[in-house]
Structure 1
Amino acid sequence: MSKKNRTKSAGNRVPKDLYEAELKRLQIELVEMQQWVTSVGARVLVIFEGRDAAGKGGAIKRVMQYLNPRHARVVALPQPTERERGQWYYQRYLERLPTAGEIVLMDRSWYNRAGVERVMGYSSEEEYQRFLRQTPTVERLLVEDGILVIKYWFSVSDEEQQARFASRLNDPMRRWKLSPTDLESIVRWEEYSRAKDDMFAVTDIDEAPWWTIESDDKRAARLNAISHLLSAVPYERLDPEDVTIPDRPDATDYERPPRERSRYVPDIAAELGTKKSGKKSSKNQPAKAA
């Protein structure tokens, strides 16, 4: 798709009300899918890759939002330590693979070597070529051992990426996302494109294919990613166990210690409404509930 066409289509974004309704439906299915994964002891590995500011983090957040964190986790590794640099390249990633009954979402993965390391010159040509030779074998071994490997590439146009970078500039909650490497991706756009094409040519294997998600519309990208993930996991809906909430027994002779003996967090929330109305509140008075 050309830049012009992608930018034009990005104007037709999914309406917020439709997005929220469909997202809720899909997230309910994700919970049902996780229950199956846990019940049968499946191992699910989902790799999220793509351009900087392509929306990977937002998609991961929506996938994880209602999952049980005891059986699902996000892996987002920092730069390797000195010790890790002396290991086999894949070693620190393989240590984080899912165990039985677990879902692991990798926010970037071993594909750093074929992307940022390749473009920025952080790895040697020999290391890069070794990566291309070994990665299909590594992933086939994972699949052969029973791990379900799902790989997503989030694709964003250069115009939309530029706009997202600009929106982060004055946002104190997202300013940290503007790293020097992120900004360098602007001037190295075509280098990253070639690196991605070369990577796909070797690692888009039948056992673990790449799935591309157009992400100029973040809402559509999230819905499409979750919908596809659900279709890629061969789960069955399990009937939930019957749960009976017991009646609360009558109070006996318990007496709560005086409140003055406890330390309470200041109740700044109680003051929010009074700032507009001008009313004074009873400062930092604890609620009656324990």
Structure 2
Amino acid sequence: MVSAEVLSIPYVILPGVIIPLYLLICYVLRAKEDFYKKPVYLIFLHICYVNGILMFTMLTAGLFELTERRFEISPNIRPIEITMGALSFWYRSIYTFLSMLLAVNRLLWVFDAYRTRTSNYEVDIYRYCFFLMWFALLVLTLMSNYLNLPFKYEMKQDIYVFKDASHGTQADFYIMLGFMTVAILCHLITTVRLLHLKFLRRSAIDRSEFNIFARILILFAPIVFGRVLRFVINHYLKDYGIFLLIFAFVYRMVPVVNLCSLLYMDGNLRKEVLQKAKRIFHKITIKRGSVCPIPVSNP
């Protein structure tokens, strides 16, 4: 399909740009005390990890499309196809789970009467959740290869699919639905509480914390939009291949949207990332300059 082949070009190029930026953001979030001590940035850190994984699956999808090979023929390539399919399949549930944790974090923030006393416990709970999340992803990925589950890359749809799962019986459908419901309820309660504090009690709201809440809403929006778009396509537009390609493209652009929103709406994070990037670039230029031979003029 010509459209899929055209989309495969940015699928190969974008990961080479986005993945290093995510690695840089992860380094800053882990190294800077202003970030790693805040529970909300701990969740942002793991969202960066998960988005990096999706970008890697995007890279393999682009390579699959460009080479135009039927990878199920080669037994050496089949484990890669299963692994990338499993990671792409469970990304949705993990991303929704992390978005739910962000919604819970903002709910705790807006009811801040006991916030300082529960911050340490909150971090411990998050770390326990992260351990279970990554352990489950590792087990599911390994078991997918061990059981040779029918994860396949569909050339015509330009997306990884689970061949034996029909609509309404997919595990991730109900998992995402539960996480999304909790997240939406938390966001609604947080919004009502903020309006109550602002207009009825005339209380001052921390602008930086409110910006984090706005950023979380932007991170949560692609989940809702993607789920609605997928429902419309599956029920009304599934016979039109171009809409399947649009859904696949929008689905894979979630990490790009997240990256732009994180850097644009967080001035401190953007400043630290730019400074670190300049230092790395400066070190690279110094090393290149030291390798170059120094010209010696003849007497």
Coarse TM-score class (shorter-chain normalised) = 0.3 to 0.5
Q: Is the strand fraction higher in 1 or 2?
A: 1
| Structure with higher RCO (Cα < 8 A, 6+ apart) | 1
TM-score normalised by structure 1 residue count: 0.33
TM-score normalised by structure 2 residue count: 0.32
